[in-house]
A and B are shown apart, each in its own frame.
Chain A
Amino acid sequence: DAGVIQSPRHEVTEMGQEVTLRCKPISGHDYLFWYRQTMMRGLELLIYFNNNVPIDDSGMPEDRFSAKMPNASFSTLKIQPSEPRDSAVYFCASSLRPGDGYTFGSGTRLTVV
């Protein structure tokens, strides 16, 4: 298995633009998580899915953020409109069971100018 695959690796966009981050979890993993890494707060959980259903989105910072998982092999995190304070590294992770050792993707470094 190629692991958790995220795209793009880097994204630079202008304030106000829509940004879409993509994730392909490990096949057979029923749980998918989106995290954001910042210096101040470390790794923050934004939202997680179980069997493609959003279970907890309490970490999503604002209505500008939305996430979908249309099938077991694909998820997106969308920011519309983007703002400079959204600049961070966004990680996707998947696991067989909740609380188990997660497998993380390599992340998407987002810069909003």
Chain B
Amino acid sequence: DQQVKQNSPSLSVQEGRISILNCDYTNSMFDYFLWYKKYPAEGPTFLISISSIKDKNEDGRFTVFLNKSAKHLSLHIVPSQPGDSAVYFCAATGNTGKLIFGQGTTLQVKP
């Protein structure tokens, strides 16, 4: 039972263009959502988060959008840079405090 799903295993974009990574969730009790970034041979690192009381949160080139009615969130990276190439994990949590992660999406940004 995958409560957090990232249906695109991989994404390839050109440097300077927008990268859009998508995530869907099934548990309506989730009220806080996070994105993590992972480079090879390293642990995931926190990137950006959003509370369910908001529908958008921006941090520099990174913006997360939340659509509660659709149980969908997305991460936008503008402009994309080669150093953004990594695996991106979507995560969600609710009153249990546990972070539930998706399967991850591998982003490749081509120079």
Contact = CB atoms under 8 A, between A and B. Distances in A.
B59 interface: no
Contacts, number: 58
Interface residues of A, number: 25
B65 interface: no
Interface string A32-52: 010100011111110010000
A2 to B, nearest CB: 13
A77 to B, nearest CB: 15
Interface of B: 2, 6, 32, 34, 41-46, 49, 89, 91, 93-94, 96-104
Given A41-B2, A99-B93, A102-B46, 9 more contacts: A4-B43, A42-B102, A43-B44, A56-B96, A98-B96, A99-B98, A101-B46, A103-B46, A106-B41
